[in-house]
Structure 1
Amino acid sequence: MNNYQKNILNDNIFYIEKLYQKFLIDPNSIDKNWIKIFQLFKKQNKVLNKNNLSKNNNYYKNLLLIEKINKLLNNFRIFGHYYANINPLFLNQKKINNNLKLKYYKISQEDSQKKITLNNVFQNQKIIDIYKFFQKTYCQYIGIEYEYLPKNEKLWIKNNIEIIKDNLNIQEKKIFLEELIATEVFEQNIGKKFPGAKRFSLEGCDVLIPLIKEIIRYSSKSNDKLTEIIFSMAHRGRLNFLVNIMGKKIQNIINEFSNISFEKKDKNDDVKYHLGYSSIIKINKKKIKLELAFNPSHLEIINCVTMGMVRFKNDSSIMNNQYNTILPINIHGDAAISGQGIVQEILNLSKTRGYNINGVIHIIINNQIGFTTSNINDMRSSYYCTDIAKMIQCPVFHVNSDKIEDVIFITRIAINYRNIFHKDVFIDLVSYRRYGHNEIDDPYITQPLMYNLIKNHLTVQNLYFNKLLSKNIINNEEKDYLYKKYQNLFNEGNFFIKTSILPSKKSTKIIYKNFKTDKLKKLLLQISTFPKKFNIHPRVKKIYLDRISMSKGEKKVDWGAAENLAYANILTQGVSCRLSGEDIKRGTFSHRHIVIYDQEKDFSYTPLKNLSKSQGSFHIYNSVLSEESVLGFEYGYSVNNSNIIIWEAQFGDFANGAQIIIDQFISSGEKKWGYKSSLIVFLPHGYEGQGPEHSSSRIERYLQLCAENNIKICIPSNASQIYNLLCQQAFSYKKKPLIVISPKSLLRHPLACSLIKDFNTSFQLIIDEIDKKINIKKIKRIIFCTGKIYYDLLEYRNSIKNKNIILIRIEQLYPFPIKNLKKIISKYIQIKNYFWCQEEPMNQGAWMYIQDYFKNKLNHNINYIGRKKSSSPSTGYFYIHKHQQKKIIYSVFNFNTE
């Protein structure tokens, strides 16, 4: 044995001894080659030491060498992405770390020429060749993060990454070049035709277009069941996407830039780079629907909406015994994906049972710059913009966007991974932005060094053409032909690709059958019955037994029973229902109990799922602790379908966390994009002394958003009203979002209960005075109000036996029932003293809205009784609340009108 060989053994004896100790504890925890050796030692009852290691020196040396190589290669898998040339602007700037070099492992040049067998892929190959292969795989133009994945997923990716990548044929390469040229021709011509106009150019990340086209091509082959792809994306490259992916006509884009008025059928009322599109593409002998969602400038918010759209389609497909038919693709910006909290929320939703959509392909257009900010210390606290993906153990593929063949290779792997594991996957297209954030900006103002590099950087079209030219795959004449082809199509205002317009669906009106009392009683009994030998909680059992009494007419129906009865009615008539929200199964205030739980077994029972074989499907999910993403998801689920979809805030105040969804989708989605939604939003509201975050649902904000009959805002005050309101929403032909200001203390209030015979009516927009014995001639004033305060006033009036004040409830605030109100007040024509009473402060609630209607529509003055103006919705001290409430009630009956 020479000195070098001795040194190898001396350097590694402790390592071998450590392996041996691991073998003694768990033989399967080490490499199988070492298992054979240690088994031999054990069989011969030998002690592991330097002497007996020396006897089979060459064999052990080879094993040590293999062990070192395995460790080196594993480090490539873990750390290689840090040293990959993924940035097209700074190639070859990173020096590879020592732990990825042969000499770090004391592998000599002589050793590097030895042939070894590592596995089925690397058999009898030189160490240096294996090393170079791994260096090329993990440190060239692709950076891969996957070592944190579960073992089976990690192994799958390893097996699919560590292969020879050049499997593209000549025809495919020509197609990719043509797609890059079409992308460039569009951008350059729009830029010339409308200089200075905002277009959010794709130039610098042109590879997005062939990437998406490859997703469509490859997915149509790899997934036989695929019927639809739904995209969500921000502004960058959107116009190019519309032309080259969705098949929008060039002339239509030009008209939008030229401000030429649209045809009457085109009612979209938003800027051109927010608009969506739907089309059908024929590919590989099948038709695939493509849908690009409309979205606002809150870039990432669209992702939760499209997730809801996908889930609805998935649920519908499952009902028809079809699975995995929809492919969702989210296209992000690098600054947005790391900067906007909604991304964390949607990832947290991604594998939960109420919101799982079998995996999303995320693509990041990584410009390395936000608006004007490119310094990493100003943009985020993580190394990569995609680091948030690790929270749900998703693979991330960083790829140099100038290297189109690497992009295609990664894209195919991402599609296969998503289809096999039904999980999200991220493709980080590291690129640049050739111009400013928009074409008006001068990026040199803030990024002079970066834009000097970009100015001198060849486009991906030129880079790829030069590569194909060098391999004699294409020549200059063929390239010129492609440029002329798309130039002519642009000049003609024609289509760049062939798609067909999606035919519009005709809405079918569902006929509502208003069940007779006997039928309603049977339904209520059915949903109030639980299985035999079911160990129900005593408190829940009492609620269910009370509901059985209600079904027999022995008790009035309370709110929870009425609500559940409405769902039973709707489901029985074939309409499906989906409910979600924090604790919605039980109800925040323990009133609903749609799902009941066995107290001894892991078993739950949902009566509403067991009505009949022909009933609509019923889904109810306790949501994650999020308002924004969940409400956006439910809005997306509700778009353009006839189901009942309900989201309930735990307290109405919590909807503040979803204000973007309310402002930019629920209230304006129809006006801007033609999105029809019948989403119902339950907002628990009422002043019971629980403080600023548990009192007000901010009615004033919703009223401010009302215009053009865009939404409905209702405050039902009793059980029959909520029942009829829900049924009315289910069977209304005109779909509008419904905001229900729902109660808390009224859920069990005796006066808010209803006789079951009252359920055979309809939702009353206004409820007139209920005391028929009041003498109209003696009335001094009319009090208008909504919700809970009505019962406070009623109880006080009864206690003092007052007969000169009438109470009128306005149950629908918008659209305001002006005709109904005129009809009611015509009975009280001689009364001039009108008052509006509310619990909310004067600058909140419905007061300003009501005052405007009375003054401008009814020509009546109306006075205010309620809390004074406040910057906070309510006090947090119960005794102050009680004092304020008493003062309001007292003022109603003792207001000095002089």
Structure 2
Amino acid sequence: PTSGQTNGQENGQVNNKSNGHVAGTVTNAASYQEVSPQEVHDYFLSYAQQKHMRGFEALTGFDHERKQVQVLQLINAFRFRGHQIANVNPLGSRRESNVAELTLAYHELSDSDLDTVFETGSLAVTGSLPLREIYQLVQETYCGSVGTEYMHIMETAEKRWIQQRLETARGQANLNEIEKINILQQLTDAEGLERYLHSKYVGQKRFSLEGGESLIPLLDELVQFAGTKKIKEIVIGMAHRGRLNVLVNILGKTPDELFSEFEGTKQVSELTGDVKYHLGFASDMDTPGGPVHLALAFNPSHLEIVAPVVEGSVRARQWHRGDREGNEVIPVQIHGDAAFSGQGVVMETLQMSQSRGYLTHGTVHIIINNQIGFTTSAQQDARSTYYCTDVAKMVGAPIFHVNADDPEAVTMVTRLALDFRNLFKKDVVIDMVCYRRHGHNEADEPSATQPMMYKKIHALDSTKEIYTKKIIKDGVLTQAQCDTMTRSVRKILESGECVVPHILPESEADLSTHLDWNYFVSDSILKDVDTSVPLDRVREVAKVFEQVPEDFQLQPRVEKIVADRLKMTAGALSIDWGYAELMAYGTLLLDGYSVRLSGQDSGR
């Protein structure tokens, strides 16, 4: 062909307008050089192959995108259901050994995908990671010694906050050596007291904490950590299990005083006749943030009935301090697993937790979950819910199930729970999964009703023994130092001295936390009291509540009530009960007393 030809498709030439990619490859538009038929054939063959490869790449890209979605679903599955296979039970059994949603296969992923890099979505890491690392991260976070339920919470901000805290920690408490030694000290104190009482007062009821000794480092951390958050008062409600241990090792009751109660030698001025594991106590503790006042409420044998009492006490203390946001006084409720799921007062108290008239801006609930209620341990006999804590979901409380044989995890969860409560002003639950080493009380033989469970329990090392081995292995302490710690605790108990090192004398306490109870105590309930007030005072009160703003339109029924009260004040109409009650409230307010109306009809 010549340069003057206009039909580029003739004689095998390709027009550069037909396909820019083809023309640019087959012929040089500037030189119009001749191209052989073979070259044209080879070119189109190559072009067809390239199109096939591009289609394959597109298909491969789609497959990766599909798997990317599956990876994000896998991450979310662990957030929802990882707790079901978490290692939270010291007895070793897991009710759900295989949850399909937590496997790679369920999400159409396989071992061949483990080295493929995927986006991590909202996971608390930046960028992308191989599936192998993503899978390991969610397992460490949600299936270790802590199993967390929080995806039922309605508020996105609360869920995201918990996600960030958990996924950043990856199941690790990251404690320093001093904190680890303190945990061992608390466990040694707890175990030391129980074993001392067991040997000295054989067969006497004490409702031992053994099997759940991690409650002591939990409460110690709660008090000390609360102090750093500027909390001034903690009011505790708990039943009998572990109560004596809490009195001695947390509130600072002297062993000597406790022993006198066992021996019946204590002089009791108030003739209550109550048993030692019902008695309350109050003390002041030194913390990094200043003094913290502790109050353990008196408790009857009626399980959980103390719960609303504690909430009412906290509400009153908050009001007394002007603490309208719950930043200075917090309630702590310690429950048993059977009572928490079985007693109706628990649900009633939870239902009031966010109501305007009763809220205390969040309670820290601690379950001593020894997996048995008296002699009932089979779930199908104990409750209808999956967990004993499921009732708390109705108020959107996060639930942290934690293995009591991992006291470092218990410490981590304690800090997390208190931070959540203080930030979001809502209830939070720590389900400390443990066991009961002895029977319901020390006179019971549990092997008669739970032979398999107690065969396993009798073979277990105590939490203190397990943690001692870990401390020694990590090089924090030597065996000799641990033995010295044990002997020191025994020596203090024998001396009868206080075992809590940071208890404060009254001279160093924050006296603003000490209420004047004499104000509430009269000489006798039979004493006559003059409640009359001058008539002028009544008219002063009536004048105030009968005033209606000029631009305010009263509802007709209310308008008649106000008009009738005007007549009552003038003496033209007999006084009714409603008028008399308002006079009582008004004159009390004038005298400087606070008045609280409680009940569905009281507002009317």
Smaller-chain TM-score bracket:
0.7 to 0.9
Give the alignment partner of residue 345 of structure 1, picking from 343, 348, 352. Answer: 348
1:827-838 to structure 2, matched below 5 A, reads none
Aligned counterpart, 1:193: 200
| Structure 2 residue 87 is matched with structure 1 residue 85 | yes
Cα 1:456/1:93, change in 2 over 3 Å: farther
Superposition deviation, residue 528 in structure 1: 2.3
Larger RCO (CA under 8 A, 6+ residues apart): 2
| Structure 2 residue 239 is matched with structure 1 residue 234 | yes
Give the whole-Å Cα distance in 1 for the aligned partners of 2:574 and 2:409. 69
Q: CA RMSD in A?
A: 2.3
Superposition deviation, residue 399 in structure 1: 1.0
Give the whole-Å Cα distance in 2 for the aligned partners of 1:295 and 1:327. 18
Equivalent position amino acid for 2:79 in 1: R
| Structure 2 residue 495 is matched with structure 1 residue 484 | no
| Structure 2 residue 130 is matched with structure 1 residue 126 | yes
User: Given that residues 198 and 439 in structure 1 are in contact (C-alpha distance below 8 angstroms), is that contact kept between their aligned partners in structure 2?
Assistant: yes
Aligned counterpart, 2:453: 450
User: Given that residues 120 and 134 in structure 2 are in contact (C-alpha distance below 8 angstroms), is that contact kept between their aligned partners in structure 1?
Assistant: no
Cα 1:417/1:62, change in 2 over 3 Å: same
SS at the partner of 2:496?
A: coil
Give the whole-Å Cα distance in 1 for the aligned partners of 2:110 and 2:375. 49
Give the whole-Å Cα distance in 1 for the aligned partners of 2:54 and 2:237. 65
Aligned counterpart, 2:280: 276
Give the whole-Å Cα distance in 2 for the aligned partners of 1:136 and 1:105. 19
Aligned counterpart, 2:103: 101
Give the alignment partner of residue 244 of structure 1, picking from 246, 249, 273. Answer: 249
Q: What do residues 802-861 of structure 1 show as CA deviations (whole Å, max 9, x unaligned)?
A: xxxxxxxxxxxxxxxxxxxxxxxxxxxxxxxxxxxxxxxxxxxxxxxxxxxxxxxxxxxx
Superposition deviation, residue 96 in structure 1: 2.9
Give the whole-Å Cα distance in 2 for the aligned partners of 1:333 and 1:567. 41
Give the whole-Å Cα distance in 2 for the aligned partners of 1:475 and 1:380. 45
Q: Stretches of 4+ moved more than 6 A in 1?
A: 50-53, 509-513
Give the whole-Å Cα distance in 1 for the aligned partners of 2:107 and 2:368. 38
Give the whole-Å Cα distance in 2 for the aligned partners of 1:351 and 1:285. 28
User: Given that residues 318 and 324 in structure 2 are in contact (C-alpha distance below 8 angstroms), is that contact kept between their aligned partners in structure 1?
Assistant: no
Superposition deviation, residue 365 in structure 1: 0.4
SS at the partner of 1:427?
A: strand
Superposition deviation, residue 59 in structure 1: 4.1
Superposition deviation, residue 518 in structure 1: 2.7
SS at the partner of 2:596?
A: strand
Cα 1:570/1:193, change in 2 over 3 Å: same
Cα 1:405/1:131, change in 2 over 3 Å: same
Give the whole-Å Cα distance in 2 for the aligned partners of 1:218 and 1:285. 8
User: Given that residues 190 and 249 in structure 2 are in contact (C-alpha distance below 8 angstroms), is that contact kept between their aligned partners in structure 1?
Assistant: yes
Aligned counterpart, 1:299: 303
Aligned counterpart, 2:397: 394
| Structure 2 residue 343 is matched with structure 1 residue 332 | no
Cα 1:51/1:534, change in 2 over 3 Å: farther
1:278-677 to structure 2, matched below 5 A, reads 278-318=282-322, 323-498=326-501, 499-500=503-504, 505=516, 507=518, 515-586=533-604
Give the whole-Å Cα distance in 1 for the aligned partners of 2:89 and 2:69. 33
Give the whole-Å Cα distance in 1 for the aligned partners of 2:268 and 2:150. 50
| Structure 2: runs of 5 or more not aligned | 1-51, 507-513, 523-528
Equivalent position amino acid for 1:576 in 2: S
SS at the partner of 2:435?
A: coil
Give the whole-Å Cα distance in 1 for the aligned partners of 2:438 and 2:74. 42
Give the whole-Å Cα distance in 1 for the aligned partners of 2:118 and 2:68. 8
Q: TM-score, normalised by structure 1?
A: 0.57
| Structure 1: runs of 5 or more not aligned | 1-49, 587-898
Q: What do residues 701-724 of structure 1 show as CA deviations (whole Å, max 9, x unaligned)?
A: xxxxxxxxxxxxxxxxxxxxxxxx
Give the whole-Å Cα distance in 2 for the aligned partners of 1:53 and 1:562. 88
Give the whole-Å Cα distance in 2 for the aligned partners of 1:322 and 1:374. 40
Q: What do residues 713-758 of structure 1 show as CA deviations (whole Å, max 9, x unaligned)?
A: xxxxxxxxxxxxxxxxxxxxxxxxxxxxxxxxxxxxxxxxxxxxxx
User: Given that residues 114 and 132 in structure 2 are in contact (C-alpha distance below 8 angstroms), is that contact kept between their aligned partners in structure 1?
Assistant: yes
Q: What do residues 114-160 of structure 1 show as CA deviations (whole Å, max 9, x unaligned)?
A: 23341561534321121012112212222111111121111111111
User: Given that residues 227 and 289 in structure 2 are in contact (C-alpha distance below 8 angstroms), is that contact kept between their aligned partners in structure 1?
Assistant: no
Aligned counterpart, 2:148: 144
Superposition deviation, residue 501 in structure 1: 5.9
Superposition deviation, residue 556 in structure 1: 2.7
Superposition deviation, residue 530 in structure 1: 2.4
Aligned counterpart, 1:68: 70
Cα 1:504/1:566, change in 2 over 3 Å: closer
Aligned counterpart, 1:208: 215
User: Given that residues 173 and 409 in structure 2 are in contact (C-alpha distance below 8 angstroms), is that contact kept between their aligned partners in structure 1?
Assistant: no
Equivalent position amino acid for 2:240 in 1: H
User: Given that residues 547 and 561 in structure 1 are in contact (C-alpha distance below 8 angstroms), is that contact kept between their aligned partners in structure 2?
Assistant: yes
Q: What do residues 400-429 of structure 1 show as CA deviations (whole Å, max 9, x unaligned)?
A: 111111111111111111111100011111
Equivalent position amino acid for 1:137 in 2: T
Q: TM-score, normalised by structure 2?
A: 0.84
Cα 1:504/1:550, change in 2 over 3 Å: closer
Equivalent position amino acid for 2:116 in 1: K
Cα 1:482/1:152, change in 2 over 3 Å: same
Cα 1:501/1:237, change in 2 over 3 Å: farther
Superposition deviation, residue 317 in structure 1: 2.4
Q: What do residues 552-571 of structure 1 show as CA deviations (whole Å, max 9, x unaligned)?
A: 22223222111111111110
Give the whole-Å Cα distance in 1 for the aligned partners of 2:217 and 2:445. 28
User: Given that residues 118 and 129 in structure 2 are in contact (C-alpha distance below 8 angstroms), is that contact kept between their aligned partners in structure 1?
Assistant: yes
Equivalent position amino acid for 2:516 in 1: K
Give the whole-Å Cα distance in 2 for the aligned partners of 1:551 and 1:501. 55
User: Given that residues 148 and 401 in structure 2 are in contact (C-alpha distance below 8 angstroms), is that contact kept between their aligned partners in structure 1?
Assistant: yes
Cα 1:557/1:435, change in 2 over 3 Å: same
1:710-721 to structure 2, matched below 5 A, reads none
Superposition deviation, residue 315 in structure 1: 1.7
1:152-171 to structure 2, matched below 5 A, reads 152-164=157-169, 165-171=172-178
Equivalent position amino acid for 2:568 in 1: M
Give the whole-Å Cα distance in 2 for the aligned partners of 1:339 and 1:63. 48
Give the whole-Å Cα distance in 2 for the aligned partners of 1:92 and 1:543. 65
Give the whole-Å Cα distance in 2 for the aligned partners of 1:381 and 1:504. 43
| Structure 2 residue 254 is matched with structure 1 residue 253 | no
Return the structure number with greater strand share: 1
User: Given that residues 304 and 346 in structure 1 are in contact (C-alpha distance below 8 angstroms), is that contact kept between their aligned partners in structure 2?
Assistant: yes
Aligned counterpart, 1:679: none
- Comparing 50-59 with 211-220, greater Cα deviation is found at 50-59
Equivalent position amino acid for 2:543 in 1: L
Aligned counterpart, 1:839: none
SS at the partner of 2:471?
A: helix
Superposition deviation, residue 214 in structure 1: 0.6
Superposition deviation, residue 267 in structure 1: 5.5
User: Given that residues 179 and 209 in structure 1 are in contact (C-alpha distance below 8 angstroms), is that contact kept between their aligned partners in structure 2?
Assistant: yes
Superposition deviation, residue 268 in structure 1: 4.9
Q: What do residues 216-263 of structure 1 show as CA deviations (whole Å, max 9, x unaligned)?
A: 111211x22x11001000100000000000000000000000001315
Task: Tell me the percent identity.
Answer: 39
Equivalent position amino acid for 2:193 in 1: F
Q: What do residues 578-622 of structure 1 show as CA deviations (whole Å, max 9, x unaligned)?
A: 111121111xxxxxxxxxxxxxxxxxxxxxxxxxxxxxxxxxxxx
User: Given that residues 525 and 547 in structure 1 are in contact (C-alpha distance below 8 angstroms), is that contact kept between their aligned partners in structure 2?
Assistant: no
